[in-house]
């Protein structure tokens, strides 16, 4: 598959005068392909095409839609090493990670294909007519969920595959029946184009309307702003920074017709390490902490950025182990020079903060864009008095807060911002303490873990990759796992419809084949 650098608008390749190039973060050299930049007109063209083909797309049988998702998976699979090489060039991520993420992306597509086939997501509800009810008869009422409309998806820098062109937002929007316009992340436009070709090929194979997918790209914020402002867009999926997410939320809320923005904006993912757990496995915990922290150069939304440990001998031992473990860590290439620069600036800010002490760091390097893993420590008072210490550092940097008593721990817990995850390392003897924290933690986080690390988000039915603001824009939703489809569906009620006019899936024959509700009760 050849990378052309063109925008892909409703199946048509479009070249523009304004172009940009991706940078290989390993060398800081520009890659050779010139990628076209979208402008307002092209964005409107893509959005309008999506809108025009929306009714057609959503009218197609959901079995065909499932087949479409499977085909995208197949075509991505066929890209093989071409994809791995391109992604590696553009992101500096290790090959193994890219292959793992490719597999995750493919499995995610197939999981959603199965979800679509299964049909529960339609949430079909029947309240049959009660013609003899007094004082008034009840009409026949049937509900199903329909797709919300064209969705704008922002490719994430840190998941060039699993959260970009055919990633979690796209697959859940397609599964719901929504057309998708993806804004490629400018760090990996070639990867984006390869995946876009896989989608377009699947559209052709399925004879689906071309308007259901477009890939736009460019540099600067304007393109994203125009996309979210566009009248044909009904919802937004975004994974990125708090600043970026909040900016999109504001634009979406100020539209003539406001639309929902599902922004996953990361968090510091507090990890509570309790005394008894630590005592028994101090070395293991320190080791697995540094592994989790340094995974993908720490460029993960679920990176463990805040560790809470009680002062004392075991804590001292833990700090010593962490120092030892991190000293062995080699640098890794970060995704792009901007991310690297921001990381360095934030680390510098930590270094300058009074009472924040360097605990240890990994090995250094003179190569470009290298993330040198680093761990700071501080006391509870310093942490509580300095809100900037609660801000995410995107990269392999963590802050260990050593508290002296449970009052401090409860105060820190109560003060936490919304988080994607909170983790407890605990033993049976720590259970009462965890129980006392759990109600507060439930209000703060989307996922709570015991004796594990938050990195490595399982794509499944029970996953919640969400959490209260500012972790996400809407704590009621998840962006990973099958429940992500809920973001792009809305219910419609059909009252007193003759059978011949009812949508197929609400007709008695079809309803009988799927899980549904009658008078509120589940019929399997």
CA 46 to centroid of chain Cα atoms: 23
The verdict on 456 binding its own copies (CB under 8 A) reads: yes
Stretch that binds its own copies, among 339-347, 372-380, 381-389, 474-482 (CB under 8 A): 474-482
**Cα separation of 452 and 435, whole Å?**
18
Residues in region 104-133 near its own copies by CB under 8 A: 114-115, 118, 120, 125-127
Supply the minimum distance, in Å, between the C-beta of residue 15 and its own copies.
33
Q: Which of 97, 497, 507, 510 binds its own copies (CB under 8 A)?
A: 497
Supply the minimum distance, in Å, between the C-beta of residue 504 and its own copies.
12
The verdict on 512 binding its own copies (CB under 8 A) reads: no
Q: Residue for token digits 């015991």? A: 450
Is residue 458 annotated as a catalytic residue, yes or no?
A: no
**Are 488 and 176 contacting, i.e. CB atoms less than 8 angstroms apart?**
yes
Is residue 344 annotated as a catalytic residue, yes or no?
A: no
Stretch that binds its own copies, among 192-200, 341-349, 368-376, 483-491 (CB under 8 A): 483-491
HSE (CB half, 13 Å, CA atoms) of 63?
1
The verdict on 414 binding its own copies (CB under 8 A) reads: no
The verdict on 244 binding its own copies (CB under 8 A) reads: no
Q: Which of 335, 447, 485, 511 binds its own copies (CB under 8 A)?
A: 447
Between 190 and 481, name the residue whose CB sits nearer to its own copies.
481
Residues in region 254-273 near its own copies by CB under 8 A: 257-258, 260
- Contacts of 230 by beta carbon, 8 Å cutoff, 6+ apart: 43, 44, 47, 152
Q: Does residue 191 sit in helix, strand or coil?
A: helix
The verdict on 291 binding its own copies (CB under 8 A) reads: no
Neighbours of 328 (CB within 10 A): 11
Q: Does residue 237 sit in helix, strand or coil?
A: strand
Set 178, 301, 315, 371: catalytic member: 301
Between 217 and 467, name the residue whose CB sits nearer to its own copies.
467
Nearest to residue 174, comparing CAs of 156, 192, 200? Answer: 200
Between 265 and 356, name the residue whose CB sits nearer to its own copies.
265
Per-residue binder mask for its own copies (CB under 8 A), 312-351, x = binder:
----------------------------------------
The verdict on 431 binding its own copies (CB under 8 A) reads: yes
Cα dihedral 197, 199, 203, 209 sign:
negative
Residues in region 43-62 near its own copies by CB under 8 A: 54-55, 59
**Are 260 and 235 contacting, i.e. CB atoms less than 8 angstroms apart?**
yes
Q: Which of 341, 348, 355, 443 binds its own copies (CB under 8 A)?
A: 443
Tokens for 343, please give them.
């990381």
Tokens for 225, please give them.
């702003």
- Contacts of 501 by beta carbon, 8 Å cutoff, 6+ apart: none
Spell 376-411 as b/e; 16+ CB within 10 A means b: bbbbbebbbeeeebbbbbbbbbbbbbbbeeeebbee
Between 258 and 283, name the residue whose CB sits nearer to its own copies.
258
The verdict on 388 binding its own copies (CB under 8 A) reads: no
If binding means CB under 8 A, how many residues of this protein chain bind its own copies?
A: 82
Q: How far is CA 94 from CA 79, 100, 191, 366, 466, in A?
A: 18, 10, 15, 19, 27
Stretch that binds its own copies, among 72-80, 250-258, 294-302, 376-384 (CB under 8 A): 250-258
The verdict on 148 binding its own copies (CB under 8 A) reads: yes
Set 226, 264, 275, 408: catalytic member: 264
Q: Which residues are catalytic?
A: 264, 301
């Amino acid at each position: 598959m050849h990378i052309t650098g063109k925008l892909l608008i409703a199946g048509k390749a479009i070249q523009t005068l304004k172009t940009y190039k991706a940078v290989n973060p390993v060398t800081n050299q520009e890659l050779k392909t010139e990628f076209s930049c979208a402008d307002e007109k092209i964005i409107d063209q893509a959005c309008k095409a999506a809108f025009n083909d929306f009714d057609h797309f959503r009218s197609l049988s959901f079995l065909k839609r499932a087949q479409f998702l499977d085909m995208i998976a197949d075509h991505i699979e066929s890209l093989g090493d071409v994809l791995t090489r391109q992604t590696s060039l553009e992101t500096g991520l290790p090959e193994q990670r890219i292959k793992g993420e490719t597999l995750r992306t493919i499995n995610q597509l197939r999981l959603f294909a199965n979800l679509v086939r299964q049909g529960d997501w339609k949430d079909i509800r029947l309240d049959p007519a009660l013609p003899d009810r007094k004082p008034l008869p009840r009409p026949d009422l049937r509900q199903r969920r329909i797709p919300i409309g064209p969705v704008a998806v922002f490719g994430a820098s840190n998941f060039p595959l699993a959260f970009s062109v055919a990633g979690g937002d796209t697959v859940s929007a397609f599964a719901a029946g929504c057309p998708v316009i993806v804004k490629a992340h400018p760090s990996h436009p070639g990867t984006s184009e390869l995946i876009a070709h896989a989608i377009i090929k699947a559209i052709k194979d399925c004879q689906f309307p071309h308007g259901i997918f477009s890939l736009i790209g460019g540099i600067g914020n304007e393109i994203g702003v125009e996309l979210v402002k566009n009248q044909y867009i009904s919802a937004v999926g975004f994974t990125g920074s708090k600043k970026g997410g909040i900016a999109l939320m504001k634009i979406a809320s100020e539209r003539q017709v406001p639309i929902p923005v599902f922004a996953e904006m990361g968090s510091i993912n507090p990890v509570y390490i309790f005394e008894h757990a630590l005592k028994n496995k101090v070395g293991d915990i320190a080791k697995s902490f540094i592994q989790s922290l340094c995974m993908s150069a720490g460029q993960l939304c679920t990176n463990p950025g805040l560790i809470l440990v009680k002062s004392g001998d075991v804590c001292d031992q833990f700090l010593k182990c962490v120092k030892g473990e991190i000293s062995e860590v080699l640098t890794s290439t970060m995704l792009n020079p901007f991310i690297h620069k921001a990381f360095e600036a934030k680390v510098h800010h930590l270094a300058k903060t009074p009472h924040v002490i360097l605990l240890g760091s990994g090995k250094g390097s003179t190569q470009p864009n290298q993330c040198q893993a680093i761990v700071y420590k501080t006391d509870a008072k310093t942490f509580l008095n300095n809100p900037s210490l609660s801000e995410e550092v995107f990269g392999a940097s963590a802050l260990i807060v050593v508290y002296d008593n449970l009052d401090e721990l409860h105060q820190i817990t109560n003060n936490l911002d919304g988080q994607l995850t909170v983790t407890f390392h605990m033993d049976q003897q720590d259970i009462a303490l965890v129980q006392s924290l759990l109600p507060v933690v439930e209000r703060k986080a989307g996922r709570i873990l015991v004796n594990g690390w938050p990195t490595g988000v399982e794509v499944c039915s029970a996953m919640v990759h969400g959490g209260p603001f500012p972790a996400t824009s809407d704590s009621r939703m998840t962006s990973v796992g099958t429940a992500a489809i809920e973001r792009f569906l809305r219910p419609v009620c059909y009252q007193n419809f003759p059978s011949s006019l009812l949508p197929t899936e609400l007709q008695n024959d079809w309803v009988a084949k799927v899980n549904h509700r009658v008078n509120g009760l589940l019929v399997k």
